[in-house]
Amino acid sequence: MPKRQTFDAKLAALRELEDTPLSEHVLRELRKALAGANNVLAAKAAQIAGRREWRELIEDMAQAFERFMTDPVRTDKGCHAKNAIVEALNELDCMDHAVFLRGVRHVQMEPAFGRPVDTADNLRGNCGIALVRTGCPDAATELTTLLADPEPQARRAAVKGLTLLAGPESELLLRFKCLTGDTEPDVIGECLAGLIAFAPDRSMAFVAGFLKADDSALAQDAALALGNSRTAEAWHILRRRREDSIDPDFKNMLLLPIALTRQAEALAYLLALVKDAHPDDACAAVEALKIYEEDDTLRERVQTAVDGRDEAAVKEAWRDGRMDDSTGGPPAPLERGRPE
């Protein structure tokens, strides 16, 4: 009688298929894992199918998803299999709405220390975004429900989905969410960024209103949303708000969003601060300009301005640190030419 494989051996065997060419043997092993009772093995098989773009396994994954929806706390603790299947179906550009409609409505409360925990928040979010991708007519309705989800991860995904949907209903829903608030400030920040992304002309003044928010994190999110619009209007809004403020920390926080506008006048403004402003302001301007460290011409101009200062703190600020990944990567070409 052959010796029964352990879980570790089965998982190791699946991992060996990750870089194996597609064959009947490979398909058979992955289908066996997807049809099996172990959610971790099914999740691994789905990950391989998605990464290798093996569309032959779409139906097998859809069937596995339905099976793991039965008594899900017992069959798929932590939603490991269901999450992996949805991610794989998205990678394979699956257009069937059925799995995603089931997943976007699924709540899975599992025992934990204290109150039960919902482990399906990420699943709902991914399924909501998938409904937008597939053009499901119910996408906006489901995302509206997700926008009021008890779990912040699902609400964040709803905002992302509405931003991708980019219709009139999305604009209204995101505005309403901004006006009614959220326990997680970054959810509102995502709403502001979304509005600027797909409805910039109508949203500029609305988003600018949040620069005066009592919550400093929300005000910063609004400033970053404006900065990432890369428009002259945003630059002027941010400059005026900085000039109106008497809070030195807030004034210096606005310098990075100003840099993000990529406007020639904005960069000239920052260079002037490096050259002539109070050392604290000069250091903040230097930090903001570091997003342009790959621009040789601008870097030389900053270096010249820094060299003209006597303060060690300003020189140290320019030497230290690297470009912040949160700023959106290397800069785009400057608008209207470079400042003189």
State how far the Cα of 326 lies from the Cα of 167, in Å rounded to an integer: 27
Rounded to a whole number of angstroms, the distance between the first and last alpha carbons of the chain is 83
Task: Using the predicted structure, report yes or no on whether residue 3 has a pLDDT greater than 50.
Answer: yes
Q: Which two tokens stand for residue 213?
A: 């928010």
Of 30-39, 226-235, 310-319, the range with the lowest mean pLDDT is 310-319
Q: Which two tokens stand for residue 250?
A: 């807030």
In a domain, 129, yes or no: no
Q: What is the pLDDT of residue 333?
A: 42
Average pLDDT over residues 289-311: 92
In a domain, 260, yes or no: yes
Look at the pTM and tell me if it is higher than 0.75.
Answer: yes
Domain range enclosing 262: 230-340
Average pLDDT over residues 223-228: 98
Q: What are the two backbone dihedrals, phi and then psi, of residue 194, each rounded to the nearest 5 degrees?
A: -65, -45
In a domain, 46, yes or no: yes
Confidence bin at 65 (pLDDT 50/70/90): very high
The Cβ-side half-sphere exposure at 199, using a 13 Å CA radius, reads 23
The Cβ-side half-sphere exposure at 31, using a 13 Å CA radius, reads 14
Of 18-22, 192-196, 332-336, the range with the lowest mean pLDDT is 332-336
Q: What residues contact 39, with CB distance under 8 A and at least 6 apart?
A: 68, 75, 76, 77, 78, 80, 81
The residue from 94, 116, 139 where one domain ends is 94
In a domain, 184, yes or no: no
Task: Using the predicted structure, report yes or no on whether residue 116 has a pLDDT greater than 60.
Answer: yes
Q: What is the pLDDT of residue 186?
A: 93
Confidence bin at 325 (pLDDT 50/70/90): very low
In a domain, 103, yes or no: no
Q: What is the pLDDT of residue 320?
A: 75
Q: What is the pLDDT of residue 2?
A: 56
Q: What residues contact 269, with CB distance under 8 A and at least 6 apart?
A: 239, 258
In a domain, 123, yes or no: no
State how far the Cα of 125 lies from the Cα of 142, in Å rounded to an integer: 10
The residue from 94, 121, 137 where one domain ends is 94
Average pLDDT over residues 46-65: 97
The Cβ-side half-sphere exposure at 200, using a 13 Å CA radius, reads 11
Confidence bin at 69 (pLDDT 50/70/90): very high
In a domain, 182, yes or no: no
Confidence bin at 326 (pLDDT 50/70/90): very low
In a domain, 8, yes or no: yes
Domain count, the chain: 2
The residue from 94, 122, 138 where one domain ends is 94
Q: Which two tokens stand for residue 300?
A: 């030389």
